[in-house]
Copies of this chain bind each other. A is one copy, B any other.
Amino acid sequence: MEKKLKEDSTSSTAKIKQAAHKLFLQNGYGSTSIREIAESAGTNIALLNYHFGSKQNLFEVVILEKIQMLLGRLAPIFSDEHTSLDQKIVAMVDTYIDFLLEDPDLLTFVLNEIRKNNFEFIAKTRLGEMVHQSYFMKQLKAATGAANSLQLLINIVSMMVYPFMARPVLIQTGLTDQDEFHQMMLERKKMIPVWVRSMLKSDVS
C-alpha cells in the first residue's frame, strides 16, 4: 500500500511494452510506427528511444518476453522423467491451448516474423536443444521409431496451433463464431490426446 515495489521506471516502460505488443500484433512490425506506440502509451518517441534504444530493440524485447513465457511453461513438461508419454501429451496440449486462448494471435505473428527473418531470436531461445535432447523425444522415439518421431511431434503441434492461425478465416467465412471457436478449443484439449493415441497405434505398421 505505502511503498512502490521498486517499479520506478516500470510504470513507464510497462505501458510502452504493453502498447507495443498490442500494436505490433495488430499491424505488423513494418506498419507500426513508434509514434503510434508512444501516443498509445501516453508518452513520446524520445522517451521511448531513451528506454529501448530503437524500434527493432523494443520489438525483440516485447516478443521474446512472450515466447519465453510459453517455453518456460513447456520446458518442465518436456524434461520430466517421471511421467509417461501420454501424460506429457495431455499436459502439453493443456498448457499450449490455455496459452493460445489467452493470446490467440501471438504464434501467427511470430511465425510470420521468423519467416521474414526480422530477427533470429530463435537461437536465443535454444528451442532446438530443448526439443532434441528432451526426455519427451526419447519417449516419442521409443513409441514410433526414430524416423517418425518428428512427424508425430509435428502432428501434435499442428493440431494445437493451426486452429488459432485459421481462426480469422473460420470466423470470417461463417464456419464458426467466437464462442463456438472457444468451445471447440476446449473440446480439443480432450480430443487431441485421443487422436494422437490412435495415430500411435496405426503407426506400428
Could you mark each residue 163-195 of chain A with 1 if its beta carbon is under 8 Å from any beta carbon of chain B, else 0?
A: 101111110111110000000100110010011
Q: Are B26 and A29 in contact (CB under 8 A)?
A: no
Is A1 in the interface zone, CB < 8 Å from B?
A: no
Is A41 in the interface zone, CB < 8 Å from B?
A: no
Q: Are B158 and A114 in contact (CB under 8 A)?
A: no
Could you mark each residue 124-151 of chain A with 1 if its beta carbon is under 8 Å from any beta carbon of chain B, else 0?
A: 0001100110000000000000000011
Stretch from A75-83, A88-96, A197-205 that touches the partner: A197-205
Q: How large is the interface on A (under 10, 10 to 19, 20 to 34, 35 or more residues)?
A: 35 or more
Is A157 in the interface zone, CB < 8 Å from B?
A: yes
Q: Are A175 and B128 in contact (CB under 8 A)?
A: yes
A199 to chain B: which residues have CB within 8 Å? 195, 198-199
Q: Are B111 and A166 in contact (CB under 8 A)?
A: yes
Contact of A108 among B112, B131, B132, B172 (CB under 8 A): B112
* A interface with B by C-beta (< 8 Å): 26-32, 105, 108-109, 111-112, 114-117, 120, 122-123, 127-128, 131-132, 150-151, 154-155, 157-159, 161-163, 165-170, 172-176, 184, 187-188, 191, 194-195, 197-199, 201-202, 205
